[in-house]
Structure 1
Amino acid sequence: MATNNSFLSGFQVNRPLLAGGAVLTGIGAVLGAAGAVMVCVALATAGRSWVRQLDTPPTAMAQRALRQAKVASTAASTAGWQAWRAEQGSPN
């Protein structure tokens, strides 16, 4: 059975190359994060200016859609109830 010392004795790492790779990887991660932040800021700015240019604010559109959904839901519920009553032959 081989021990860790004898197994890894022939494995030698070029430390300056490893350190350089680690430094470049760190720099790349920082640059990547900075780029992602810049993209997010650009998209947020464009989105905010687009929302400001809308004729109807998003909250008003959402309220209108909610009212329409409630009306449609009530109409569907009423139609279903009437169909069920007609099928059952109920006078109410």
Structure 2
Amino acid sequence: MATNQNFFSGFQVNRSLLAGGAVLTGIGAMLGMAGAAMVCAALATAGRSWVRSMDMPPTKAMAQRALHEAKVASAAGWEAWRTEHASPN
């Protein structure tokens, strides 16, 4: 048995089977990475077309408006809290 290597008193490894498994594992990993890249490309393309189809795409002005709304809501909440806790109850 020229293809088998003896290790640890009787533990034999078939080197050709081991090499074949390693090759197939490498091929599978490469196919998996290629598939993942294709999925990422499809999702990125879909995301770009979705953003383009929006009535108002996300811009700096939209972010500024959302920040202003958040500040107004925060101020209203703070004022309501102060009014409630400053009452003589």
TM-score by length of structure 1 reads 0.79
Distance 1:87 1:48 in 2: 56
The corresponding residue for 1:22 is: 22
Name the amino acid aligned to 2:80: A
Q: What percentage of residue pairs aligned between the two structures are identical? A: 71
Name the amino acid aligned to 2:24: L
SS in 2 for 1:20: helix
Q: How many residue pairs are counted as aligned between the two chains?
A: 82
Matches within 5 A, 1:8-19: 8-19=8-19
CA RMSD of aligned residues (A): 1.8
Distance 1:49 1:87 in 2: 57
Matches within 5 A, 1:44-83: 44-59=44-59, 60-83=61-84
Distance 1:63 1:71 in 2: 12
Whichever structure has more helix as a proportion of its residues is: 1
Q: Which runs of 5+ in 2 are unaligned?
A: 1-6
The corresponding residue for 2:31 is: 31
Distance 2:23 2:33 in 1: 15
Mapped pair 1:86 → 2:87? yes
Distance 2:80 2:88 in 1: 12
Distance 1:87 1:18 in 2: 82
Distance 2:66 2:88 in 1: 33
Deviation at 1:78, TM superposition (A): 0.9
